[in-house]
Structure 1
């Protein structure tokens, strides 16, 4: 079983990126990451693999972020340079467009393209059917395509 220090050092940066992309506010993202680690400490779950561990932490984090966003109402505007400091201008523009998507589409697209999860893994994290995740990805891509095509006109 991993120590708390190992869990934090392994997942802190990834969880922060996901939380910031979800909440849009640095302080809220930090709070959600801390709350996620506290839930891990309270539960001390044992996992079959590192991927199961990562998926559990992500699910807890995303649930906490979703609850916070519902409670507060609006999402803040994320400082994308905080999330992706080394990205090119064009990539930052695309990330900004992804952040405009409805939360379910945004989460699916983010986990698939930026965290490299499979649709099956995303389904477990989001507590959805895999076919639903594929639908979110499809609809999210369509929205992005429409927005990007309208920008070029």
Structure 2
């Protein structure tokens, strides 16, 4: 399947993402999805269409995921400051309300994606993303007050 449709799926993913690494991940995820679901397809052309459809959806999801990751202004500020000891950030995280603190900790400290956090906490992924966004805003406010970040 990889030798038959791999290039077509990879090209489609690259056309969305403009990044080879992300496109290769989408190709891999598409093949895993095919193996996981084992769809009953009538013909070879349906097989290719299914793979391209899934790859397109995964690429769109990756675009959203990358956009969320890139909008993290807090991390950009911390990197710009070149602070090696970020313990003050985790102290500020501890002051957040529980629902924000959990998602911020799991996302940044443990490195879980939002989909996995949703499963861990038993909530919708959109709720996790909302809590993460609101947690970032509250954290920014706390850090501005305590550490005079702009």
Same fold (TM over 0.5): no
Instruction: Please give the range of the TM-score, normalised by the shorter of the 2 chains.
Output: 0.3 to 0.5
Larger CA Rg, structure 1 vs 2: 2
The TM-score normalised by the length of structure 1 is: 0.43
